[in-house]
Structure 1
Amino acid sequence: MKAVTIDRYGPPEVLTVTERDRPRPGPGELLLRVAAVAVNPVDLAVRRGDIPSPVLPAVVGWDVSGTVVETGPGVSRFQPGDRVVAAHSPLATGIGVSAAYVALDETLAAPAPASVPLDHAAALPLAALTAEQALSQLGPDFSGRLLVAGAAGAVGGFLVQLAALRGWRPAGLARASDAPTVATLGAAEVFSSPGTLPTGAFDAVIDAAGLPATIAAVRDGGRYLSLTPFAVPEPERSIAVEIYGVRTDGTMLDTLARHVDQGHLTLRIAHVLPFEDAPLAHALLEGGGTRGKILLTPGD
């Protein structure tokens, strides 16, 4: 079967499509025929060696949508023919989801939203889980003023939508050209650059863009939650500076998929490319300015 792999670290060109054996599902596992996988910043970090893979060659990728074709012993939630989405970390094994067939634990999967094409559903898992879990860090009773930095990005867009769904009326930081989109997603106001932010005006900032200067917008004693561990400000003014990393969770993903079907979450797709264009996909994401997810499909 086809798989997108790296055998060394480096620029996008180290990504190649190779042939690998089709996996078999073990106890509690699903075997998926892959419809699409999404390209995420963590994939770029693995490819560059910033987050080394435990083995090389390695199959890249976290986000997947597909159809169950076989189940292992003990599987209870899914059966062949079911359409699912999942986020699966390759950081412990070096076996990601960018392959024609993928075996993964059923606890990572959720029924795919029925209201979108199955390949588009791959845009949901990692970015939406990151956003939902980051907002949950603020607590169910948060009622202050929230700023989302990078509000036009994949995670930032979900942060705005999910915060608005909670009734929080978040503010967004995004390029002026993205302001209409961010407002449509649910931002009560949109700022065009860190320099335009009011000093100390927000109770919390969630930074999904690696903009540590936005700590200036947090009030004394407020909270700053970074989703970009390579760009974190030093604590100041009794502000709690936190770094958050996502955890895979099929139950939470199921709730998020239902939000898509209910019209509460919009999936934004920038490009759908074949596996063979994985270097282009990484270059596009690395170049910045992409609005919506970049998806890769295995083809026939």
Structure 2
Amino acid sequence: MGTRTFRTAVVRTPGGPDAIEVIDVPQREPGAGEVRVDVAAAPVNPVDLGVVGGFFHSLGLIHQPHHTGLGWDFAGVVTAAGPGVDLAVGTRVAGLVVGFDRDFGTYAEQLVVPAADLAVVPDDLDLVAAATVPLNGLAAAQVVDLLGDPPADGGRLLVTGAAGAVGGYVLALASARGWRVTGLARAGDEKFVRGLGAGFTTAAEPGWDAVADAAAWQERALALVRDGGVLVGVRPNARPAAERGVTVRVIETRADRVRLADLLARTAAGELPARVHAVLPLDRAADAHREAAKGGVRGRYVLRP
């Protein structure tokens, strides 16, 4: 009997969407604490465009000898479980695979991952929508954790990139934390931003108590924070230098089963946005990257293996 294989999208030599290949790799059985998941959906995120384009290779963060896996988050169904696992075969789950330097990713027909990193998907949330939550939802939750509670003498928070995948979650989560939130976005995104309970602006002046820089404006965002305020960024490899007594914090997204379960439940309840722009088969991963690179899309391209 031959070795069982499955299909996955990888990049050997980065060079943009044309560098993406779909290859066959051997199936692996789950070990202790692991499960194998048949992937139902895997979103295309900006970080994936950076991997395919060679940005993270140029920073020395990727050293794979043969190929680099693509994709960070996913949703699917458990098909096999190793010893010590509390997830039954047939359970619908979503999760996050972190780190740049790996030969596997979520653009795949299946994954073997630690069960402790997965959250169960609510019955009333479809797997395509659920797949868009882990990376951006957990990033936004960490942004809000780093912001903390609003100060008693002021709680004005500006969110850059407020209509983007991370920014949209920050709007809702920070409002629930007690911040008085204003979203900075394009004029065409006003309805979406206000629909999440936030104020809206297309231009911002300095003086905010805190800025959540979901758009990765970096120093431009820092300039909008009042003296002694807080800036939370989303690029762990590029922390702006603090000035004027501003506290600068930067997220480093990680798997969090409990927090992800809460985010999925809130998405199922309609409290958080599930934004899917289009669903494409795995074979069209390169097309999804080309379209995503054009920008301006409010929602994710999602690959269905």
Question: TM above 0.5, one fold?
Answer: yes
Equivalent residue, structure 2, for 1:162:
173
Equivalent residue, structure 1, for 2:302:
295
Query: 2:76 matched to 1:69?
Result: no
SS in 2 for 1:120: helix
Query: 2:187 matched to 1:176?
Result: yes
**Contact 2:42/2:73 (8 A) holds in 1:** yes
1:16-39 per-position Cα deviation (integer Å, ceiling 9, x unaligned):
111122221111001001100011
Report the alpha carbon displacement of residue 254 of structure 1 after superposing the two structures with TM. Answer: 1.0
Query: 2:88 matched to 1:79?
Result: yes
Report the alpha carbon displacement of residue 220 of structure 1 after superposing the two structures with TM. Answer: 0.6
How do residues 23-38 of structure 1 correspond to structure 2 at under 5 angstroms? 23-38=28-43
Q: Distance in 1 between matches of 2:148 and 2:258?
A: 19
Q: For 2:9, give the aligned amino acid.
A: V
Report the alpha carbon displacement of residue 246 of structure 1 after superposing the two structures with TM. Answer: 0.7
Report the alpha carbon displacement of residue 283 of structure 1 after superposing the two structures with TM. Answer: 1.9
**Contact 2:39/2:109 (8 A) holds in 1:** yes
Report the alpha carbon displacement of residue 234 of structure 1 after superposing the two structures with TM. Answer: 4.0
**Contact 1:209/1:228 (8 A) holds in 2:** no
Query: 2:145 matched to 1:136?
Result: yes
SS in 2 for 1:51: helix
SS in 2 for 1:119: helix
Report the alpha carbon displacement of residue 263 of structure 1 after superposing the two structures with TM. Answer: 2.5
Q: Distance in 2 between matches of 1:26 and 1:141?
A: 44
Query: 2:18 matched to 1:13?
Result: yes
Q: For 1:36, give the aligned amino acid.
A: A
How do residues 1-300 of structure 1 correspond to structure 2 at under 5 angstroms? 1-52=6-57, 53-55=62-64, 56-76=66-86, 78-140=87-149, 142=151, 144-187=155-198, 189-192=199-202, 196-200=203-207, 202-212=208-218, 213-229=220-236, 233-298=240-305
Report the alpha carbon displacement of residue 169 of structure 1 after superposing the two structures with TM. Answer: 3.1
TM-score normalised per structure 1 = 0.92
Report the alpha carbon displacement of residue 255 of structure 1 after superposing the two structures with TM. Answer: 1.4
Report the alpha carbon displacement of residue 293 of structure 1 after superposing the two structures with TM. Answer: 1.5
1:89-142 per-position Cα deviation (integer Å, ceiling 9, x unaligned):
253432212110111001110001322211221000000000001100122455
Q: Distance in 1 between matches of 2:15 and 2:243?
A: 36
Q: For 1:289, give the aligned amino acid.
A: G
Q: Distance in 2 between matches of 1:90 and 1:261?
A: 28
1:237-271 per-position Cα deviation (integer Å, ceiling 9, x unaligned):
22122222211111211111111233211201111
Cα 1:295–1:148 shift into 2, 3 Å: same
Report the alpha carbon displacement of residue 232 of structure 1 after superposing the two structures with TM. Answer: 5.3
SS in 2 for 1:270: strand
TM-score normalised per structure 2 = 0.90
Gaps of 5+ in 2: 1-5
Q: Distance in 2 between matches of 1:295 and 1:67?
A: 17
1:174-211 per-position Cα deviation (integer Å, ceiling 9, x unaligned):
00111111111221x2111xxx31221x1110101122
% identical aligned pairs = 38
Q: Distance in 2 between matches of 1:230 and 1:28?
A: 31
**Contact 1:164/1:170 (8 A) holds in 2:** yes
Q: For 1:174, give the aligned amino acid.
A: A
Q: Distance in 2 between matches of 1:203 and 1:15?
A: 43
Q: For 1:60, give the aligned amino acid.
A: L
The alignment of Structure 1 onto Structure 2 pairs a total of residues equal to 292
Q: Distance in 2 between matches of 1:285 and 1:251?
A: 30
SS in 1 for 2:100: coil
Gaps of 5+ in 1: none
Cα 1:266–1:114 shift into 2, 3 Å: farther
Q: Distance in 2 between matches of 1:234 and 1:133?
A: 20
Q: Distance in 2 between matches of 1:254 and 1:58?
A: 29
Q: For 2:127, give the aligned amino acid.
A: L
Q: Distance in 1 between matches of 2:302 and 2:205?
A: 37
SS in 1 for 2:211: strand
